[in-house]
């Protein structure tokens, strides 16, 4: 992966205790996730994407019993959160972690442009019940995308999904992948499990932005850090 350090620092800055868990830890049984309240599936290129985006990573969960059971037990608990970003978002969709058991399951498809899209663009946070984003509704924020298979294929009606974040416009390049309903993220119905294609961990400090408002030069952190603080506060209060 190549997004683990930014993610770990954003979580640490928000006040969390952070540790790396590798697939080898889960497969061997060295790690069971029993003492973890939040999993973040980080962005980047798992297995160099040679097996398709997140397909190899998903297979490591599906076909290794200890890893599969650890993940299943984590999602059975009601004191847990999860976040998947980019490759991690693809993993959550591939494993059905956001809408388990849903008929006509969601998929991540190749971008309509047929190419890898890397851009700094705008998203809008809608009214939502997501633990990490609920009190950020109404914000319109810049964020990075960097993916080749970022199109949310959502075969059911929009009302069947919890979509907390949308791209600012339906058309390309504002919607860089052609996602149904301009979705940039989907969330579980209870608000605890969030899958996001854009990289919020690459935009939680002002200098990471391609453009930052001139009137906010004194900001030490950018608004995206609030999502991580919200997660930390939820964990603290359970």
pLDDT by residue (tens digit) across 99-108?
998 889 999 9
38 CB burial (10 A radius; 0-12, 13-18, 19+): buried
CB count within 10 Å of CB 42 equals 23
Give bridge partners of residue 85 from the DSSP assignment. 196
147 included as an active-site residue: no
Residue 150 Cα distances to 10, 144, 190, 205, angstroms: 23, 13, 24, 24
Question: Distance between CA atoms of 46 and 2, rounded to whole angstroms?
Answer: 9
pLDDT band (50, 70, 90) for residue 51: low
**What's this model's pTM, rounded to 2 decimal places?**
0.95
pLDDT band (50, 70, 90) for residue 56: confident
Indicate the pairing of strand 193-196 with strand 81-85. Answer: parallel
Q: Which of 6, 31, 86, 94 is catalytic?
A: 86
In the numeric block, the tokens 């319109």 are attached to 140
What average pLDDT score do residues 210-231 get?
Answer: 96
Q: Which of 31, 94, 149, 201 is catalytic?
A: 201
86 included as an active-site residue: yes
Residue spans of the domains in the chain: they are 4-237
pLDDT tens, residue by residue, 169-209: 999 999 999 999 999 999 999 999 999 999 999 999 999 99
199 included as an active-site residue: yes
Packing angle, helices 4-13 and 225-237, rounded to 10: 60
Three-class SS state of 17:
coil
Q: What is the dihedral of CA 39, 87, 67, 93, to 10 degrees?
A: 90
237 CB burial (10 A radius; 0-12, 13-18, 19+): exposed
Question: Distance between CA atoms of 94 and 68, rounded to whole angstroms?
Answer: 14
Given the candidates 3.30.1360.70, 3.30.70.100, 3.40.50.880, 3.40.50.150, the CATH classification of the domain at 4-237 is 3.40.50.880
Task: Say what the pLDDT of residue 133 is.
Answer: 98
Is residue 153 scored above 70 in pLDDT? yes
Residue 173: asked if its preceding bond is cis (omega within 30°), the reply is yes
pLDDT band (50, 70, 90) for residue 15: very high
Length of the chain: 238
Question: At a CB cut-off of 8 Å and minimum separation 6, what does 118 contact?
Answer: 144, 145, 146
């Amino acid at each position: 992966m190549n997004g683990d350090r930014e993610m770990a620092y954003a979580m640490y800055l928000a006040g969390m205790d952070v540790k790396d868990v590798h697939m080898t830890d889960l497969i061997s049984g060295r790690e069971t996730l029993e003492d973890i309240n939040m999993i973040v599936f980080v962005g980047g290129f798992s297995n160099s994407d040679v097996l398709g985006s997140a397909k190899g990573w998903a297979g490591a969960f599906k076909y290794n019993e200890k890893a599969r059971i650890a993940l299943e037990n984590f999602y059975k608990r009601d004191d847990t959160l999860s976040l998947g970003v980019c490759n991690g978002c693809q993993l959550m969709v591939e494993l059905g972690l956001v809408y388990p058991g849903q008929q006509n399951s969601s998929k991540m498809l190749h971008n309509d442009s047929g190419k890898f899209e890397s851009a700094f663009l705008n998203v809008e946070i809608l009214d939502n019940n997501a633990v990490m984003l609920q009190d950020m509704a109404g914000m319109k924020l810049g964020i990075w995308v960097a993916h080749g298979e970022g199109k949310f294929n959502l075969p059911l009606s929009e009302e069947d999904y919890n979509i907390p974040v949308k791209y600012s416009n339906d058309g390309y390049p504002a919607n860089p992948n052609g996602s149904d309903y301009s979705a940039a993220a989907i969330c579980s119905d209870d608000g605890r499990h969030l899958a996001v294609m854009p990289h919020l961990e690459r935009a939680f400090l002002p200098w990471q932005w391609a453009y930052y408002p001139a009137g906010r030069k004194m900001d030490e952190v950018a608004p995206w850090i609030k999502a991580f603080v919200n997660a930390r506060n939820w964990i603290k209060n359970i």
